[in-house]
Structure 1
Amino acid sequence: MKLLSLLIIGAALCFGAVDINKADKDELMNINGVGEAKASAIIEYRKKHNCFSSIEELKEVKGFGDKMLEKNRNNITASKCKK
């Protein structure tokens, strides 16, 4: 079952960007350079602040900086949220 989930997530990533406001931990870990700890940090930030208003806000999460954001800019999106 896990293999099937990973295949589905992998296929989705081929066709679209990871939405940092909706993605679960496994989906976030498909972002280049994001492991379990960074994925958890993204989710915690999202819970604390309701959502990300833009992908630039990822720099507020520990472990993310300009280089990391630029490397992944085309693979990340932040859907609209209600703050």
Structure 2
Amino acid sequence: EPKAILNTGDLLRLQDVAANNFVHHALVDYVVRIVTATREPEKFGMPDAKAWIAYGASPRASLGIIAASRALALVRGRDYVIPQ
């Protein structure tokens, strides 16, 4: 039987802390451009990529990438997101 390492309250607190990690607007713009490029690669100078992409990422992918970046920053002990 797996042993619990977090209770519900701890998990909710960590989610709240991660959600409040700072993300610079330039990084948000960068993520949005990457996601948009999966739908319209020719507008980003990658016309050949269109042949490899059946469906581009949805706009919600940007939200998911930012949320994951915030969580990773928390795990690495930062209260801010970096591009790497």
Q: TM-score, normalised by structure 2?
A: 0.23
Q: Which structure's residues are more often helix, by fraction?
A: 2
Q: TM-score, normalised by structure 1?
A: 0.23
Greater relative contact order (Cα < 8 A, sep 6+)? 2
Q: Which structure's residues are more often strand, by fraction?
A: 1
- Larger Rg belongs to: 2
